[in-house]
């Protein structure tokens, strides 16, 4: 009997290492540009307030960590709740096991997602997301075709960047306590539109200051004037299994980055507490 107990004890210890003893949920490992994904969650092709258009369904990059997929679904539903016709287009996440794909250098560990901008027509009526390609928008929010670009999407020139619904989406994501956002890549011109809209409409100060930090035009990639590219930090449990954050850990996230184990604070309350004057000095 004593020998059996000893053997069981050794087995338990052997399983208490990275990638061995888990809770059965998704695991992100490695970096966003050199990583893998275990037991991924799959983005539904459609749900309340969102859909994965056909082009991105066919690619198959619809896998990520559970908390990211759930947060995006909740945010899309929140926008729909305030606007009956709002429909978010969800594009690429990661391949089923993570790793490289022909479309992205990042998106390798299940913590990146591309979200197609909400758009309206000239009269302000909400439009469904494009089905075949993303549409580029200039600093004024008007659709345009970059040099050598020929759109297959009919009526693309009528689209306008929907600053109101796009801000609602961002605010819902920033307020979600289940994810900790590191970046939302977007062009400088559209970033300015979003922040101006938020200030003019007296949105919460903490959300505006937090958006100033995470909304960035990337320096080493296209300007992202055709979609949001959102990246979340590793969860504490995934860091135990080898998940690694690239780039800065923002001031309001340093406490959670320091420790391992389960999350022990409410990220939203920390963001609110740090918004003035803390966050303003970190962008």
Q: Write out the chain's pLDDT in tens, 283 residues.
A: 555 545 444 444 444 455 555 667 888 988 888 888 899 999 999 999 999 999 999 999 999 999 999 999 999 999 998 887 899 999 999 999 776 777 777 888 899 999 999 999 999 999 999 998 999 999 999 999 999 999 999 999 999 999 999 999 999 999 999 999 999 999 999 999 999 999 999 999 999 999 999 999 998 888 999 999 999 999 888 888 889 998 887 766 655 554 444 444 444 454 455 454 444 333 3
Q: Is the residue at 11 inside a domain?
A: no
* CATH (domain of 165): 3.30.1380.10
Q: Is the residue at 99 inside a domain?
A: yes
Q: How far apart are CA 62 and CA 51, in angstroms?
A: 11
pLDDT of residue 10: 44
Render pLDDT for 236-281 as a digit per residue (tens, 0 to 9).
888 888 899 988 877 666 555 544 444 444 444 544 554 544 443 3
Nearest partner of 224 among 122, 104, 125, judged by Cα = 104
Q: How far apart are CA 69 and CA 28, in angstroms?
A: 13
Q: Is the residue at 197 inside a domain?
A: yes
pLDDT of residue 174: 95
Q: How far apart are CA 39 and CA 257, in angstroms?
A: 23
Predicted TM-score (pTM) of the model is 0.83
pLDDT of residue 263: 47
Q: Please give the helix or strand (H or E) that residue 47 lies within, else none.
A: strand 46-47
Q: Is the residue at 109 inside a domain?
A: yes
Q: Is the residue at 2 inside a domain?
A: no
Matching residue, tokens 């307020």:
175
Q: Is the residue at 93 inside a domain?
A: yes
Burial of 161 (0-12, 13-18, 19+ CB in 10 A): buried
Domain of residue 247 covers: 25-281
Q: Is the residue at 77 inside a domain?
A: yes
Q: How far apart are CA 208 and CA 231, in angstroms?
A: 18
Q: How many domains does the chain have?
A: 1
3-state secondary structure of 275: coil
Q: Is the residue at 6 inside a domain?
A: no
What is the radius of gyration, based on Cα positions, of the chain? 20
Q: How far apart are CA 204 and CA 190, in angstroms?
A: 19
């Amino acid at each position: 009997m004593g020998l059996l107990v000893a053997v069981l004890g050794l087995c338990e210890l052997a399983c208490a290492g990275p990638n061995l003893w888990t809770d059965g949920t998704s695991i992100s490992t490695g970096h966003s540009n050199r990583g893998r994904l275990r037991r991924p969650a799959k983005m539904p092709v459609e749900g309340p307030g969102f859909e994965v258009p056909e082009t991105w369904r066919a690619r198959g990059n619809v896998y990520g960590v559970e908390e990211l997929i759930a947060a995006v679904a909740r945010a899309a539903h929140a926008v729909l709740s305030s606007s009956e016709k709002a429909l978010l287009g969800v594009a690429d996440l990661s391949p089923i096991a993570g790793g490289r794909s022909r479309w992205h250098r990042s998106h390798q560990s299940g913590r990146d997602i591309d979200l197609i901008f909400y758009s309206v027509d000239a009269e302000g009526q909400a439009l469904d997301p494009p089905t075949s390609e993303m549409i580029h928008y200039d600093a004024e929010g008007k659709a345009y075709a970059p040099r050598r670009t020929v759109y297959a999407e009919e009526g693309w020139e009528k689209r306008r960047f929907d600053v109101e619904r796009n801000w609602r989406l961002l605010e819902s994501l920033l307020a979600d306590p289940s994810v900790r956002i590191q970046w939302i890549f977007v062009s400088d011109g559209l970033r300015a539109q979003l922040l101006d809209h938020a200030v003019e409409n007296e949105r919460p100060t903490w959300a505006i200051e937090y958006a100033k930090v995470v909304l960035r035009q990337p320096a080493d990639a296209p300007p992202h004037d055709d979609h949001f590219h959102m990246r979340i930090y590793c969860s504490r449990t995934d860091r135990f299994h080898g998940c690694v954050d690239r780039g800065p850990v923002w001031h309001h996230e340093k406490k959670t980055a320091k420790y391992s184990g389960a999350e022990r604070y409410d990220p939203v309350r920390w963001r609110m507490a740090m918004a003035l004057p803390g966050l303003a000095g970190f962008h």
